[in-house]
Every structure is written in C-alpha cells, then in structure tokens.
Amino acid sequence: MKATDISEVARTAGVSTTTVSRVINGVTTVSPENRRRVLVAIKQLKYRPNPNAQRLAAGKANTVGLVIPRYEGIFNSYFALEVIKGIGTSAERIRCDLLLHITNGKTIPARSAVDGLIFLDIYGCEELLDDVLNQDIPIVVVNHRLEDLPVSYVAVDNILAAERVVGYLVGLGHRDIATITGDLKTQAGLDRLDGFLKAVKARQLVMRDAYVQVADFGLPSARKAMEVLLKLSDRPTAVFAASDDMALEAIQTALDKGIRVPEELSVVGFDDNPIASHGRVPLTTVRQPLQEMGRQALEVLVQQMGGKKRNPTQLLLPTELVERQSCRQTWIEAR
C-alpha cells in the first residue's frame, strides 16, 4: 500500500504543501481555518510526517556528534561503553540521533551533520577542541574538567575520590600505602595521583618514592608495577590502583607470589567495573556514575542546542567507595 505523501494532504485540505509543512512544524503564522483543514486532512488520510523531512524543514538535524579519542581497546573499555550507554539511552528517550565519530585528534563530524558535539574526554584532542570553540556549535566534554575554558563539562572529582581511598585505608590501620597510577597523560590519571599524594601528606604518612609506581591503565604495566612493590624490603600493606583492571592484575600478581589478599595486602581499585565483584578476591573500589555522566552530558547539550543555556554548565558528580573483600585491618591494628 502506497504511503500518503504531503502533496496528497495538501490537495485534500485545499492548501499548498508549504502550508501543510508549516502546520506540521508548528509555525504560528498559518490561519486558524487553514490549520483546521490541514489537521482534518492529516487525520482523514492517516498521514504520518517523515521525521527527517521535519528536521530539514526546521533547519535542524536533531543529531549529536559523539567524538571519541582513538586509542587501543576503545571498544573494550568499560568506561567508554558505560558513558556511551548513558548517552544512547537518553538520546532514545528524547528521539535524538547519535553520530559516532572516532578521531585521531584532527577530525570532527561535518558541521552540517550535527547540532552539537559531546567529547568523550579530550585526551589527544586538545587542539581539536580549540578549533571547535571558534565555531558556532554547542559542546560538552565528558570526563575532563575545563575550568579555564568556556566549555560545559560533566566529570567526577577524581582528586577527592583518591583522598577518600587513602582515608579509608588509614582507617583500617594502614600506614604504608602505595599507588599504581593511571596514564599520567590523562587528567584522570593525574588527578587520582594528586589526590593520593595530597591525602598522604595531610595524614603525615611516610611517602617513599618507590610507593608511587607509574603505569598506564594497562595490565602489563600494572603487573610490572606490582612486582616492583612486592620486592621492596619495606613493602606496602595496601595498594591503591587507578583502575579496576589494574587492581585485579595487582591482586593476581600478589597471589602468584604467594602473598594473600587481603590478609597480607589490601588493594583498592577505581571504576566499579562488573568484573570487580567476580574476581578471585572481590574488589573494594570507587564507583563512578558513568552512565549518569553520559545522560547528564546529553541533557546539558540539548539545553544548549535549544538556546536555553548561555553560560557553561560545569558538573562534578559524586563517587562512592564500594567495600568488598580485598581490604582488611592491618595485623597490628587488629591485635
């Protein structure tokens, strides 16, 4: 059965196709009588407007470009998949299309194809962001604070989260606490290290240089860092790893060396990846609201696209420490 088109609606209503289009798109300059005739014809013919045609008529694509920095394992990244899930479910709810764009830091979607952009972090895309700021296009950045630029962002307070991890471990009696960092080229990696060091200093703990092992969020780097820590004569009683993947690899490395977790070593991760609760030792970790970050990022962007927000919206969402079985009081405290 042939679908009814806009010209048939116009003939039935006795008006032009332009008038039909104006009624469909809510233009207020149409006379009440013509509007009534068009609506009657639409109902009589059971006409369903083409969403793409409506968007073009309104001069809007109703499409958001999701710009994702290209890095190895992007589609195996728990962080990326959860944020995309949050953006995607919110987009479905408000009937907004997503254009996924993987970039090497030099390209973005064509301006004519999108009404706004969400950057899934800006690692490697700093110059690209500067270029986009000179264009008339709404932007929201996820997972990166940009307090020195007029840009909206939605992130978590990584510094405060790391401070709370140290406070938690100190509360269990630990004084010799080490960290395995994330990639220090990323803001998340740097902030989690800064928060760790700030908390150690505030509590006047002894900070040995070897207790800061620089890694890159990858498993090989985490294993190498843990092997160094375990060889120390004054090895730590607790380790804070900047991601769950690294924390689980650190636990596995310790178990392979015959060191019991948590009896001889406490470990805390970051992310609350589902695998954290299913390892050989269920992992105590920091939960960050990744889907909520994605959802709020899209909501902020849609407000900007609709002209409802002039000033940047800058949100830091709270994290939560999730206690499982990878930490315990030190033997000295437990006595």
H/E segment holding residue 233: none
Same domain (yes/no): 275, 177? yes
Contact 84, 75 (CB under 8 A): no
Say yes or no: 132 and 36 in one domain: no
Residues 32, 145 within the same domain: no
CATH of the domain at 130: 3.40.50.2300
- pLDDT at 155 exceeding the cut of 80: yes
Could you tell me if 186 and 278 lie in one domain? yes
241 φ/ψ angles, rounded to the nearest 5 degrees: -100, 140
Whether 140 and 25 map to the same domain: the answer is no
Instruction: Give a yes or no: residue 74 inside a domain.
Output: yes
Q: pLDDT tens digits for 61-93?
A: 588 999 998 765 666 788 889 999 999 999 988
Q: Where are the beta strands (DSSP E) in the chain?
A: 63-69, 97-103, 116-120, 139-142, 152-156, 177-180, 212-213, 238-241, 266-268, 285-287, 314-317, 320-322
Query: Does 179 map to a domain?
Result: yes
Specify the number of domains making up the chain.
3
The answer to the question of residue 238 being in a domain is yes
Same structural domain for residues 43 and 76?
no
13 inside domain = yes
- For residues 234 and 307, membership in a common domain is answered with no
Overall average pLDDT of the 182-192 stretch:
94
Read off the pLDDT of residues 252-287 as tens digits, 9 standing for 90 and up.
999 999 999 999 999 999 999 999 998 889 999 999
What pLDDT score does 306 carry?
79
Q: How far is CA 71 from the centre of its chain?
A: 15
pLDDT of residue 335: 35
pLDDT at residue 112 in the model = 79
CB 21 within 8 A of CB 59: no
Tell whether 1 is covered by a domain.
Answer: no
For residue 126, the tally of other CB atoms under 10 A from its CB is 11
Residue 100: inside a domain, yes or no? yes
CATH assignment of the domain containing 15: 1.10.260.40
- Which residues are registered as beta bridge partners of 213? 180
Q: State which amino acid sits at residue 90.
A: S
Q: Considering the entire predicted model, what is its pTM?
A: 0.79
In this predicted model, which residue has the larger pLDDT, 186 or 225? 225
Chain segment 91-129, per-residue pLDDT in tens = 988 888 999 998 888 888 888 788 899 999 888 888 888
334 pLDDT tier (thresholds 50, 70, 90): very low
Owning domain of residue 265: 158-288+322-334
pLDDT at 333: 44
Q: Is 239 part of a structural domain of the chain?
A: yes
Asked if 204 and 326 sit in the same domain, the reply is yes
Note whether 190 and 305 are same-domain residues. no
- Is residue 15 assigned to a domain? yes
- Same domain membership, residue 302 and residue 176: no
Decide: 200 and 170 in contact? Cβ < 8 Å.
no
Confidence class for position 56, pLDDT limits 50, 70, 90: very low
Q: Give yes or no: residues 115 and 218 share one domain.
A: no
Q: Are residues 283 and 297 in the same domain?
A: no
